[in-house]
Amino acid sequence: MAQKNLQDSSASHWPEAAQTLMALMHAQGEVARLSEREQLFCTLLASINAVLWAFDWETRRVLYVSPAYERIFGRSADQLLADCNQWRDSIFPDDLDYAERSLAEVLDKGAVEDREYRIIAADGQVRWLSDKCFINRQAEPGQPVIIVGLAEDITDKKQMETELHRLATTDALTQSSNRHHFFECAHRAFAHARQQGEPLSFLMLDIDDFKTINDTYGHQEGDNVLQRIAESGRAALRRRDLFGRIGGEEFAAVFPGCTPQMALQVAARLQRQIQQMRFNHEGQAYGITVSQGLTSLSAADKNVEDLFSRADAAMYQAKREGKNRIVTA
């Protein structure tokens, strides 16, 4: 009888024990799956080239920063969590006001998705960030205001954009503005001069007897002459001035805010510099000269093409009068 009771007792407890064991095995499996998910999440965070971050606006504390922070900024995440100024101090000085102002805008807008600014990494490299930030508008009154963000490293994209812009606006041979970019800038300079009532001058320059240089010394030597002219132009002109190659051996310049007298002084300085140039091809030395046409903005000018036409006509007049001179119109 006692043996039967023991058997009954054991049988009655088996289902409960089995259920407990199954529950423990299930829990262990869930822990394993959670661990796998956590590892996968960490792997994904480490692989993306962006920093996930969370910031308490009231206490000015960084609550979370993803592993990419240390890779992109080159600085310790622990130090950032202890002092949010670590991020602020990394921002490029010229961009600091914008970065702080645009961050504060998220309080009113709820999201700011077009923030782009530069940082200086620990190794001294300047990097570009696209730093989108968002705020939870569902937060209960009295709850902390938490801003979350995604700061993506867009340095490569910015460098590509810069290179594409350079290729689109620069003459490949002389590294001066190409014709399209020069006249695009010249139109803006004309509009600004008209709006502000400021003076503006336009210069055309053509290398004298350039065909003879190509025929005598070869096109490679002719290219060298064009490059030297462009270098001289960039050196002689003021910082605000525009200079570009607009044709084969033709260059042009626009002098914003420059009176006719000042423009003539700049043109004369450029003329002297070019006259002093010396070239040598296979032991044969030679020099070059240029003819220039110069004009200034008048009340009758409707657009920059009016100045271009006058300067171009003055340049060809300089050719007819014997070359190596400046003619004003």
- Rounded Cα distance, 231 and 324, in Å: 19
The pTM of the full predicted model, rounded to 2 decimals, is 0.65
Q: Do domains 48-161 and 170-328 have the same CATH topology?
A: no
d(CA 104, CA 92): 18
Separation CA 66–CA 153 (nearest Å): 13
Q: Which of 249, 250, 282, 305 is catalytic?
A: 249
pLDDT in tens, 128-145: 999 999 987 655 667 788
Q: What residues pair up with 116 in beta bridges, in sequence order?
A: 130
Question: Per-residue pLDDT tens for 270-326?
Answer: 999 999 999 998 888 999 999 999 999 999 999 999 999 999 999 999 999 999 999
223, 238 contact by CB (below 8 A): no
> Are the C-beta atoms of 64 and 52 separated by less than 8 Å?
yes
Instruction: Quote the pLDDT of residue 9.
Output: 47
Asked if the model's pLDDT at residue 233 lies above 50, the reply is: yes
How many angstroms separate the CA atoms of 186 and 178, rounded? Answer: 12
DSSP-assigned beta bridge partners for residue 111: 134
Per CATH, domain 48-161 is 3.90.650.10: no
The predicted-structure confidence for 238-276, as pLDDT tens digits, reads as follows 888 999 999 999 999 999 999 999 999 999 999 999 999
Third-level CATH fold of 170-328: Alpha-Beta Plaits (3.30.70)
Res 41: pLDDT: 53
Catalytic annotation present for 70:
no
The full set of domain ranges for the chain reads 48-161, 170-328
**Ramachandran angles phi, psi of 286, nearest 5°:** -155, 165
What's the CA gap between 213 and 286, in Å, rounded?
10
